[in-house]
Structure 1
Amino acid sequence: MRADRLVSLVLLLRRHGRMSATALARELEVSTRTVLRDIDALSAAGVPVYAERGRHGGFALLPGFRTELTGLNHDEALALLVAGSRRGAQAFGLGSALASAMRKVVDALPEGDRTTAAEAAQRLLIDPETDLLSRRQIEDEVPDTVVAEIRRAVFAGHRLRVHYAAVGQDPTWRTVDPIGLVTVRGQGYLLATRSGADRTYRLSRVLAAEELDEPAQRPERVDLDRAWQERGTRFRSGGDQVTVRLLVDPARREELVDTALAVGAEEPATDGRLRLEATFQDARHAEWALWRLATDAEALAPRWLRTSLRDRAAAVTAHYAG
């Protein structure tokens, strides 16, 4: 771990020219004291790193210094393979590995291409944390140690014990056969089987994980995309789901679709709105989804939903009447 950090430190200095101990600590996700110890270790190993004093000082390498430091380790290579989504790397606990791998990739480029690539990268922003309406994307936060243990079991084909907190239940230990990991909009999931039955676990609800020595009972090959679609279909077809017939302003259609489990029949209405059927997880989910669209959506059926929304609006009106 320290060797990788030392390599990353050198690559950061090569790329930025001069950096303070605080900036290096932030990039490497360590303390400034650790950075200072690493600087001493590099100097002792003959790497020409020096300190510049003053307000704009920091650490830098002697001009022209270059060494072959671009070999990727396993996690860094894996991070590049899932780097189509930066949030995907984060969800799988590979955020720091991705940052380290990209530093090595940039350093491996010829000097002219390295400068051009760095300047071009400043012109691109992929998957920002908020959209144009300043709505922040919700991401699961999972300790790296937990995700790393799950990841090892998935890749090694070993059984896994997880301390899992299901919604509305006390946390319990479960032994599962891991199949693969999936990330959707910043939320990570473990696909597994338990006693032969398909199970899907949200990573943010895994409190602890332990890789076992026993081999997992699972097929040698898996189509994760197909497995995810099949589980999604089963999820949408069960439980206390509610199907709503409604009218919605076309400008707000995407917001509605993003919150619904599924959207069925859809056609234009005579007043310029869209008439469609949407399925929600339960009654509470349906009421919340339509309430947030205010007068841009209107529930036609079931009747209880119209009544619930009317009563809720009346209560808010009475509350602010004074």
Structure 2
Amino acid sequence: MRADRLVSLVLLLRQRGRLSAATLARELEVSTRTVLRDMEALSAAGVPVYAERGRNGGFALLPGFRTELTGLNHDEALALLVAGSRRGAQVFGLGSALASAMLKVVDALPESHRDTAAGVAERLLIDPETDLLSRRVVADEVPDTVVSEVRRAVLAGHRLRIRYAAVGRPPRWRTVDPIGLVTVRDQGYLLATRSGADRTYRLSRVLAAEELDEPAQRPDRVDLDRAWQEHSTRFRTGGDQVAVLVRVDPARREDLAGTALAVLAEAADADGRLRMEVTFQDPRHAEWALWQLATDAEALAPQWLRSSLRDRAAAIAARYGVSDDNRRVPAVPACLDRGHARD
């Protein structure tokens, strides 16, 4: 741990120049006292670090000092820098390790490429925290102690005990054989087997984890992408999913398909509308998805869904049809109709 911190300290000084002890402590998440001790250790090891007194003082390296990190060409380092901006590292508890690795990558580049690589973050933005509608992307929060234990078991090939809180059930302990970790839209998942059966566990629902000494019962090699696809298929076709027959405007076809679990059948009607059979996770999911499409889609079956959407629309119409003082509210002018309200 201390050796990694000393390397990170040198790289910070190499890339940013003079830094105060307080700034270094904040970057390395240690105390200023620890930074001062580390500076003494670097000096004793022959690293040309020196201190400057005064209000604008701090620690710096003698000009020309350079660490040697080889084996990366410019394009490889650039690819790592772009990949490093993704938030998957945070999901798997590797945020601090990634930050340290990025310092090493930048320092490994030739002088002619370093400025270009350092400016990558200003020109390329991967997976921002909000979309174009300013909707915030909410990532799963998993305690570091939990995700670290899970990650160690996955990489070491050891069995794992987890205290898991399944939806609608009390938490309980179970022992699993971990296969791999997957992150999808800032949500982390553990693929594993339990008593020989495939299982998928959401990391945010793992309340505690313990790596065991015994080896996991799993194949030596795994195609994680294929395994995830198989788990996803079983999820979409099992459980309490509901099938819905829908007529939809072709322009909204992708919106419907994007919210459904699966498209089972699809055909065009004589009037050009699409007739699609799709599945949703449960009745609430089906009602929510069809409501988003408003009059661009019509649920043909099952009848309970048609009735639910009708009752919901009637309630909304009743709410907005009369003002608070029981006077009728005038109709919306045509110029403010949805088709004219935006470009």
TM-score (norm 1): 0.84
Residues 4 and 306 (structure 1 numbering): CA distance in 2 closer, same or farther, change over 3 Å? same
1:84 to 1:6, Cα distance in 2 relative to 1, 3 A: closer
Pairwise CA RMSD of aligned residues? 3.0
Q: Which of these residues, 35, 39, 50, is aligned with residue 38 of structure 1?
A: 35
Counterpart of 1:124 in structure 2 is 124
| Aligned-partner Cα distance in 1 for 2:24–2:268 | 56
Q: Distance in 1 between matches of 2:309 and 2:162?
A: 41
**Native 8 Å contact 1:190 1:200 kept in 2:** yes
Aligned to 2:159: 159
CA drift at 1:298 = 3.0
Deviates more, 1:203-212 or 1:128-137: 128-137
Report 1:99-114 matches (<5 A). Answer: 99-114=99-114
Q: Secondary structure at the match of 1:86?
A: coil
Q: Give the corresponding residue for 1:177.
A: 177
Partner residue of 1:76? Answer: none
Cα 1:37–1:314, aligned 2, differ >3 Å: closer, same or farther? same
Structure 1, 157-166 or 43-52: larger mean CA deviation: 43-52
Identity of aligned residues (%): 76
**Matched ranges for 1:263-282 at <5 A:** 263-267=263-267, 274-282=274-282
Q: Which amino acid aligns with 1:41?
A: D
CA distance in 2, matches of 1:70, 1:149: 32
Deviations 1:109-142 (A, max 9, x none): 1111111222344211112122211122231111
- The alpha carbon displacement at 1:265 in A equals 3.0
Amino acid at match of 2:34: R
Aligned residues: 311
Match for residue 51 of structure 2?
A: 50
CA contact (8 A) 2:176 2:194 kept: yes
Rounded Cα–Cα distance in structure 2 between residues aligned with 1:240 and 1:194:
22
1:261 partner letter: L
* Cα separation, 2, equivalents of 1:166 and 1:130: 28
- Using the alignment, how far apart are the partners of 1:81 and 1:123 within structure 2? 12
Greater mean deviation of Cα atoms: 18-27 or 146-155: 18-27
Q: Find the counterpart in structure 1 of residue 229 from structure 2.
A: 229
Q: Is the Cα–Cα contact under 8 Å of residues 130 and 136 in structure 1 kept in the other structure?
A: yes
Name the CA shift for 1:262/1:53 in 2 (closer, same or farther; >3 Å): farther
Residue aligned with 1:41, SS: helix
Corresponding residue for residue 215 of structure 2: 215
Correspondences of 1:251-266 after superposition (within 5 Å): 252-266=252-266
Q: Tell me by how many angstroms 1:186 deviates.
A: 1.3
In structure 2, do the counterparts of structure 1 residues 37 and 2 end up closer, same or farther at CA, with 3 Å as the change threshold?
same
Contact 1:162/1:208 (CA < 8 Å) preserved in 2? yes
* Shift, 1:200, TM fit: 1.1
What does the per-residue CA deviation read over 1:37-94, in whole Å, with 9 as the maximum and x for residues that have no partner?
Answer: 314421453141435654x76654343332347899xxxxxxx699477222222211
Q: 1:314: which partner in 2? A: 314
Tell me, yes or no, if the aligned pair for 2:249 and 2:273 is still in contact at 8 Å: yes
CA distance 1:135–1:273, shift in 2 (3 Å) = farther
Instruction: Find the counterpart in structure 1 of residue 298 from structure 2.
Output: 298
- Partners of 2:295 and 2:312 lie apart in 1 by 13
2:158·2:215 contact (CA, 8 Å) conserved in 1? yes
Q: Whole-Å Cα distance in 1 between the matches of residues 63 and 296 of structure 2?
A: 62
Amino acid across the alignment from 1:50: A
How far residue 175 of structure 1 moved from its aligned partner, in angstroms, is: 0.9
Report the AA paired with residue 42 of structure 2: A
**TM superposition score normalised by structure 2:** 0.80
Q: Residue 254 and residue 7 in structure 1: after superposition, are their counterparts in 2 closer, same or farther (change >3 A)?
A: farther
Q: For 2:212 and 2:54, how far apart are their aligned partners in 1?
A: 52
Counterpart CA distance in 2 for 1:282 and 1:57 is 62
Query: C-alpha displacement at 1:202, in angstroms?
Result: 0.7
Q: CA deviation at 1:150?
A: 1.0
Tell me the residue number matched to 2:197: 197
Question: 1: distance between equivalents of 2:255 and 2:15?
Answer: 41
Larger-gyration structure (1/2)? 2
